[in-house]
Amino acid sequence: MDSFEGLKDLVHTKLRETLLVVASNREPYIHLYGEEGITEIRPPSGLVTALDPVMRAVGGVWVASNWDLQVEEERVQIPIANPSYTLRRIHLSKAQQDGFYYGFSNEMLWPLCHIVHIRPSFRRADWERYVEVNRLFAEAILEEIEDQNALVWVQDFHLALVPRLLKEARPDLLVGHFWHIPWPNPEAFRICPWKRELLEGLLAADLLGFHIRYHCDNFLKTVGMELEARVIDEVSAVQYQNHTTSVKPFPISIDYQGIKRDLQGPEVKDELGKIQKLFRKRREFLAVGVDRVDYTKGILERIQAIDRFLEKYHEYQGRFVYLGIGSPSRVHLHEYKRLWSDVLDLIETVNWRYRAEQYRPILFRDEHVSYPRILAYYMSADLALVSALHDGMNLVAKEFIVSQPEEDPGILILSQFTGVARELHEAILVNPYDTEVFADTIKTVLEMPKEERERRNRWLQEWIREHDIYWWASSFLNEMVSLKRG
């Protein structure tokens, strides 16, 4: 049985008569209402990339916030083209979006958990909105469940208080929480004024998942330092106020088979044709990067490395092009506005330095791009640059690998500070802060013999094929089921 069938089997046997509820801040699909009807787009989010295929496979309810005042329906079946599960929307006011999402989640928790030297903003008003919106989520989830048996799988740092709110109302519910970003070391976390409430919220879950063991260990150390709790290292669990929470690593992944199918589809083929015309005839080497424009993704460090590479190895000038997809993210926040302008400024400087007749080494698409086009970019590239300064996992790395052909594949240069670096042993690891070594690594990879590229690619593809998104979801849900039995 493959992992897809395995997950379905698990849900249909061990979770029979149990409603599966996923809750996340973000909706899995955005619906745009225009004159030609509704357009449905998938947002640039790792969480959605991972969980939408799971929900399409097994069904259930996904509870998420909605900010579009035009959207009136509270419940809708999605995806529209092939309805497979229910979306329950929670409408957030402007003040809630500001305080809960931009303020507390993205100006406090995000920089607190990613160690990239951006100072978190602690504002009591934001905290109050965070509590308020977490309550709205808990109420909506309980409404969807009514008096049924349910397994609730809460997602990410926006909803840290939800497990506790659910358990207070319904102690019989099975509640899991998956934290998609790093958990920092205890010294970094202890400056947070609401640390106790956040930890207590999470510790009401039966299972708390992180991507890697290192984040679990940081969490266990934080709990040991901040609460009168019993940390049981041998089984990786915490006992607190008569409740036990299991804390385990579950490295998230992607839909390997689904992407393989898409790569053969007409949409990707069409995009490939366009790219061939644009780049391949004119340039020898193509590198790609795909990110939400976020200060954790190391976009400036990547461009600095490209700059140094072209300066040091000038024989590549005119022959090497980097194509960056930068989808806009959190654009109302000061740090993100600053990043945009720094990125554009640096690109202009580098392009000016190496510019020649019709040659610009860096092409930057500062817009949301369709998924088939992204896959086509991956397929066309000789290398991908994933240079995050700190990242929970990083799914772009896995998507790039899966998009490579068996023969003459491209190579991944991967930051050692991503969760995925702990898994993808045959990728080429770099420290993105070390510009000189990063630049040298680009050269090494471009000159790597075909046999070595093919050997590395075989290993990486096989790893992701075995550890795909259905394997990830099954591992988490199986663990929850076993906790229920135990």
318 binds ligand GDG (CB under 6 A): no
Q: Smallest distance, Å, CB 29 to ligand GDG?
A: 12
Contact residue for ligand GDG among 11, 27, 46, 421 (CB under 6 A): 46
What whole-number distance in Å separates Cα of residue 158 and Cα of residue 331?
18
Query: Which residue type sits at 154?
Result: V
Q: What are the backbone angles phi and psi of residue 287, rounded to the nearest 5°?
A: -110, 145
What whole-number distance in Å separates Cα of residue 86 and Cα of residue 104?
28
Residue whose C-alpha is closest to residue 161's, from 21, 10, 25: 25
290 binds ligand GDG (CB under 6 A): yes
325, 369 contact by CB (below 8 A): yes
Query: Which residue type sits at 168?
Result: E
Residue whose C-alpha is closest to residue 483's, from 15, 19, 116: 15
Q: Which is nearer to ligand GDG, 307 or 391 (CB)?
A: 391
Contact residue for ligand GDG among 7, 10, 15, 47 (CB under 6 A): 47
325 binds ligand GDG (CB under 6 A): yes
Q: Which residue intervals of 266-333 are DSSP H helices?
A: 266-275, 299-312
Q: Which helix or strand (DSSP H or E) is residue 5 part of?
A: helix 3-13
Residue whose C-alpha is closest to residue 4's, from 12, 29, 233: 12
Residues 78-107 that bind ligand GDG (CB under 6 A): none
Residue 50 to residues 101, 159, 261, 359, Cα–Cα distance (Å): 21, 18, 16, 37
Q: Smallest distance, Å, CB 318 to ligand GDG?
A: 28
Contact residue for ligand GDG among 154, 395, 412, 414 (CB under 6 A): 395
Cβ-closest position to ligand GDG: 46
392 binds ligand GDG (CB under 6 A): yes
Contact residue for ligand GDG among 391, 445, 446, 457 (CB under 6 A): 391
Contact residue for ligand GDG among 307, 399, 423, 468 (CB under 6 A): 399
Count of residues in the chain:
486
Contact residue for ligand GDG among 287, 321, 393, 445 (CB under 6 A): 393
DSSP 420: G
Residues 6+ apart with CB under 8 A from 217: none
Q: Smallest distance, Å, CB 316 to ligand GDG?
A: 26
Q: Smallest distance, Å, CB 423 to ligand GDG?
A: 11
42 binds ligand GDG (CB under 6 A): yes
Stretch that binds ligand GDG, among 185-193, 226-234, 340-348, 370-378 (CB under 6 A): 370-378
What whole-number distance in Å separates Cα of residue 68 and Cα of residue 15?
34
Q: Which is nearer to ligand GDG, 51 or 310 (CB)?
A: 51
Residues 6+ apart with CB under 8 A from 7: 54, 57, 58, 470, 473, 474, 477
Contact residue for ligand GDG among 24, 25, 45, 134 (CB under 6 A): 45
Q: Smallest distance, Å, CB 172 to ligand GDG?
A: 28
Q: Smallest distance, Å, CB 47 to ligand GDG?
A: 5
Contact residue for ligand GDG among 131, 363, 369, 437 (CB under 6 A): 369
Query: Which residue type sits at 321?
Result: V
Q: Smallest distance, Å, CB 399 to ligand GDG?
A: 5
Q: Smallest distance, Å, CB 418 to ligand GDG?
A: 7
What whole-number distance in Å separates Cα of residue 445 and Cα of residue 477?
39
Q: Which is nearer to ligand GDG, 49 or 304 (CB)?
A: 49
252 binds ligand GDG (CB under 6 A): yes
Q: What are the backbone angles phi and psi of residue 160, rounded to the nearest 5°?
A: -70, -25
23 binds ligand GDG (CB under 6 A): no
Contact residue for ligand GDG among 87, 181, 286, 424 (CB under 6 A): 181
Q: Which is nearer to ligand GDG, 11 or 181 (CB)?
A: 181
Q: What would the two tokens of residue 173 be?
A: 């519910």
Stretch that binds ligand GDG, among 2-10, 18-26, 354-362, 393-401 (CB under 6 A): 393-401
177, 205 contact by CB (below 8 A): yes
- What residues are paired with 428 via a beta bridge? 413
Residue whose C-alpha is closest to residue 219's, from 255, 178, 257: 178
SS3 322: strand
Q: Smallest distance, Å, CB 188 to ligand GDG?
A: 17
Q: Smallest distance, Å, CB 10 to ligand GDG?
A: 21
Q: Is 358 left (phi over 0), alpha (psi -120 to 50) or beta?
A: left
The residue ranges that bind ligand GDG (CB under 6 A) are 42, 44-47, 49-50, 180-181, 252, 290, 292, 325, 327, 368-371, 374, 391-396, 399
